[in-house]
Amino acid sequence: MSIFGNIMSAIFKHSSAQAQPTAPGSGTTAGAKVPGGPAKPAGSADASGAKPAASPMSPQSQVDVEAVLSKLASQNKEKLDWRKSIVDLMKLLKLDSSLRARQELAKELHYSGNTKDSAAMNVWLHKQVMIKLAENGGKVPADLRH
């Protein structure tokens, strides 16, 4: 899996553990266990084997990225500035945050700058990760996408 895929998976996995409603008042949750059936992650195939369309999630089913990351940060003994630092964001998600891993992430996200200038690359990476999370079903506040 790609590094960005690992970031997205880690965040979305923690979201389903929080059991967020799929629609207001529906009483069901994304990734929740249905009585009499096994737990079924949001976006998984149904009994016919068909997967839901890969379109952006509706606002009601979006993963609240800020809430997930804030909760993880509150449970972490190390103080991590995930709101501004790609390194801290990756550490919070228990992912490799080495320069090599970040350079690979930059390659995945089509960074055109100098990957040896890690400060500039890191700022760009953080912004792009937040933008990509928003494009892939994450609810990301505007201040985290700047």
**Residues 60-90 pLDDT 10s:** 578 999 999 999 999 999 999 999 999 999 9
Report residue 14's pLDDT band, with 50, 70 and 90 as the boundaries.
confident
The pLDDT value recorded for residue 18 is 57
Angle between helices 3-17 and 99-108 (to 10 degrees): 90
Token pair 């997967």 is found at 51
Contact 57, 137 (CB under 8 A): yes
Query: pTM of the prediction?
Result: 0.71
> Percent of the chain having pLDDT more than 70?
69
Residue 41, CA distances (Å) to 7, 51, 136 in order:
17, 11, 16
